[in-house]
Amino acid sequence: MQLKNIKGQMSVAACALLQVAAPVSEAADNDTGNETRWDIDSSVLIYSESDGRVSAFEPGVRVGIDLGDDEFVNLQIVADALTGATPNGAHKSTVVQTFTTPSGNTPYTVQPGELPKSTTFRDSRVALTAEWDKPLTRLSSVLLGASLSDEIDYTSLSLSGTYEHEMNNKNTTLAAGLATTFDTINPIGGIPLGLNPMRQAGSAQQRVGTDDTRTSVDLILGVTQVIDRKTLMQFNYTHGSSSGYHNDYNNVLTVYDPVTNAPLVGDWLTLDANDMPYLFEKRPDSRSKDIFFVRAVHHLEEDVINLSYRFYTDDWGITSHTLDLRYRYQMDGSYLVPHLRYYTQTGADFYRHNLKVDTDIDRATGAVNVDFASNDYRLAPSDTVTVGLKYGLPLSDDSEFSMRAEVMTQTITDSTVPAGEETPGLDAIILQFNYSLLW
């Protein structure tokens, strides 16, 4: 959360420094400092994945209050609704596959050659965020934040604080922040027992409890530097750690029989006759990550170039690189912002396409020979390209309308799996509409 706050502040500073035409900054220049100013941003986000997968509708409103003397309060509310079908982790097969919904009460089938997806996926979320930016001295300030998010099966509370200090004639800003997040996961039907079989609908499911928790702590250090009157740079380092429940309780892995070249059928080895040939995933109960981020903003005659690079690594074995380029092209009375983003990552050490009998599972006893395993495509080696365009139209000195459209394409690297069983890629369309007002 706090990394986003620092990045957002840097963007505002860049607009002011580089004299980017924006109604909010222009209105602020006319402020006498003797009255409270209100900055309201409203938005609607529409997200849709191909092949009938997840769709999201997300309206949101942010209210920024300028209390004067460089003191600000930001309040935001976001609500979203998700529908569609989400992959359950099992892979395609040449035979009909039957699964049980997360509640354990209802079966559903998947035809040969189809990607197994849970068609009962429904969710809604409401998130509230509050921030207070308070000067301490002429050169230092503190930003305090709190966020609460609630979903059907998930509740998250975040608290954060950032200290900023300006130096070098206010050309250099140092920042240090700390954010803590407390998550509670309470899935319908309870927490599945990791690396144990999914069972037929209506039978006694193997659960370890009704809910579980996760705690995360992130430390952020940042430097924002004015290079010259047209160039601004930002450097951030984040170290984060989390402990507790990290599994996706919806996700399973196929128990694959290399003899039949299909999911294991019949009574599941020597276990309960209700056991199905799918094991619930299991991930480590802790995670440590390091993130390095650098951004450069440069003002041309009228246009602005915004280029950033992000390097991520964690102790799960994932390493990623992100390049992001935005070019603001100023037109007569409006502007365009083409956007290009490239993301690539390696897979987690425990990412598995499936679990094989005689290799990962003992055929005679049913014992699982791996400590952790997941077929979540978000943990797989992948490449993602996002291409988009934003159009902004100032309606007055104090208001602006903007809209953006983006296409995202994700490719999963599955070069070692049999043909026809690959994890499919993902295509998605993103639309967003914004209206901002200052008075």
- The CATH number of the domain covering residues in 2-438: 2.40.160.40
Q: Which tops the pLDDT comparison, 433 or 196?
A: 433
pLDDT of residue 34: 56
* Coil/strand/helix, residue 164: strand
Q: Which residues does 383 contact at the CB level (< 8 Å), separation at least 6?
A: 342, 343, 344, 410, 411, 413
Phi, psi of 11 (to 5 degrees): -65, -40
pLDDT one-digit tens code per residue, 384-432: 999 999 999 999 999 999 999 999 999 998 767 766 677 888 999 999 9
Domain boundaries defined on the chain: 2-438
Residue 8 has pLDDT above 90, yes or no: no
Q: What is the pLDDT of residues 137-190, one digit of tens each?
A: 999 999 999 999 999 999 999 999 999 999 999 999 999 999 999 999 999 889
Which tokens sit at 12? 């505002």
**DSSP string of 222-291, one letter each residue:** EEEEEEETTEEEEEEEEEEEEEE----TT-EEEEEETTTTEE--SS-TTS-TTEEEEEE-B--SEEEEEE
Residue 25 has a pLDDT of 34
The mean pLDDT of the chain is 88
Q: How confident is the model at residue 268, as a pLDDT?
A: 54
pLDDT one-digit tens code per residue, 264-319: 765 555 557 788 889 999 999 999 999 999 999 999 989 999 999 999 999 999 99
Which of 92-96, 201-205, 248-252, 337-341 has the largest mean confidence?
Answer: 337-341
Q: Above 70 in pLDDT, residue 17?
A: no
pLDDT score of 271: 59
| Among the ranges given (199-203, 234-238, 293-297), the one the predictor scored with the smallest mean pLDDT | 199-203
Number of C-beta neighbours around residue 156 at 10 A: 19
Average pLDDT for 318-343: 98
Task: Report which residue type is found at 367.
Answer: A
Could you tell me the pLDDT band of residue 12, with boundaries at 50, 70 and 90?
very low
Model confidence at 27: pLDDT above 70: no
| Beta pairing, strands 97-100 & 55-68 | unpaired
Whether the Cβ atoms of residue 309 and residue 21 lie closer than 8 Å to each other: no
Phi, psi (deg, nearest 5) at residue 211 = -155, 170
Share of the chain above pLDDT 90, in %: 68
Query: Quick one: pLDDT band at residue 35, thresholds 50, 70, 90?
Result: confident
Q: What is the pLDDT of residues 245-267, one digit of tens each?
A: 999 998 999 888 888 777 776 55
Lowest mean pLDDT among 98-102, 209-213, 227-231, 314-318: 98-102
pTM: 0.89
- Minimal CA–CA distance to 309: which of 321, 317, 297? 321
Rounded average pLDDT over 61-72: 94
Find where tokens 């189809």 sit. 114
Supply 380's token pair.
Answer: 């797989």
**If DSSP states are collapsed to H, E and C, what string results for 99-148?**
EECCCCCCEEEECCCCCCEECCCEEEEEEEEEEEEEECCCCEEEEEEEEE
